[in-house]
Amino acid sequence: MAHFAKIQNSKVVEVIVVHNNECNGGDFPESESVGQAFIASCGIEGEWKQTSYSGSFRGRFAGINMIYDEDLDEFVAPEEPAES
């Protein structure tokens, strides 16, 4: 299964699963554009980035409220508030 994270203002707001058949059975990064096209064909709007459940690409698996760092092309944890 392929996982895709919806990005809004650099923040992960949703993660969905797309069957490998809908990603042309390919590997990342080739599977990403095919999966994005499938998501769009379902009428689901937004910016979607493929994420790896095993963390084999883009740093780690994207979870809700994580940040997508475009410069690093990775999902990162939101900054922890400073202790006072």
Whether 82 maps to a domain, the answer reads no
Asked if residue 16 is part of any domain, the answer here is yes
Which is nearest to 28 in space by CA: 65, 62, 63, 3?
3
Structural domain span for residue 69:
2-76
User: What region does 29 belong to: left with phi over 0, alpha with psi -120 to 50, or beta?
Assistant: alpha
Q: With respect to residue 9, please indicate whether it lies within any of the assigned structural domains.
A: yes
- 81 lies in some domain: no
pTM above 0.75, yes or no: yes
pLDDT in tens, 25-76: 889 999 999 999 999 999 999 999 999 999 999 999 999 999 999 999 999 9
Decide if 83 is inside a domain. no
In the chain, the number of structural domains is 1
pLDDT of 82 above 90: no
The answer as to whether 68 is a domain residue is: yes
